[in-house]
Amino acid sequence: MENMEKIILERQTSHRYNAGWSHLNESEFVGTARVLARKKHGRDYGESRAAFTLLLVSSKEEPETVIRSIHDTLRHSCRCEHDCCGHWQSHVSKVRHLRGCLYAVIEQQFINC
């Protein structure tokens, strides 16, 4: 279990920049998460795909705050100034608090083409 991906969860407190530049927004630490399982469904080229992820979260915050931080942390897009660059982008379409520290996440991933 030592090889599990670790994610630092942060909730954005300012929303001046879009997803490609969201690291410039102000944020606060919420906790950490470990990826227990991840499965991608769909093609890797030319189409969108969904990624299903199971997270084990370590946080003292309420589930609503953790869910918001998962949305803010896992969303990403490219910074290219033109379309059709071919970079993967994603947004979190759903987060569900299963029980205790377990959260299920569905990400929609797509290529900028």
Q: Within 10 Å of residue 15's Cβ, how many Cβ atoms? A: 10
Average pLDDT score over residue span 26-38: 94
In this prediction, what percent of the chain has a pLDDT beyond 70? Answer: 85
- The domain limits of the chain are 6-111
Indicate if the pLDDT at residue 90 is higher than 80.
yes
Q: What is the largest CA-CA distance in the chain?
A: 43
User: What's the pTM?
Assistant: 0.79
d(CA 10, CA 58): 12
Determine the pLDDT at residue 61: 96
Determine the pLDDT at residue 16: 76
pLDDT class of 111 with cuts at 50, 70, 90: confident
Indicate if the pLDDT at residue 24 is higher than 60.
yes
Determine the pLDDT at residue 46: 58
The answer to whether residues 103 and 95 touch, using CB atoms and an 8 Å cutoff, is yes
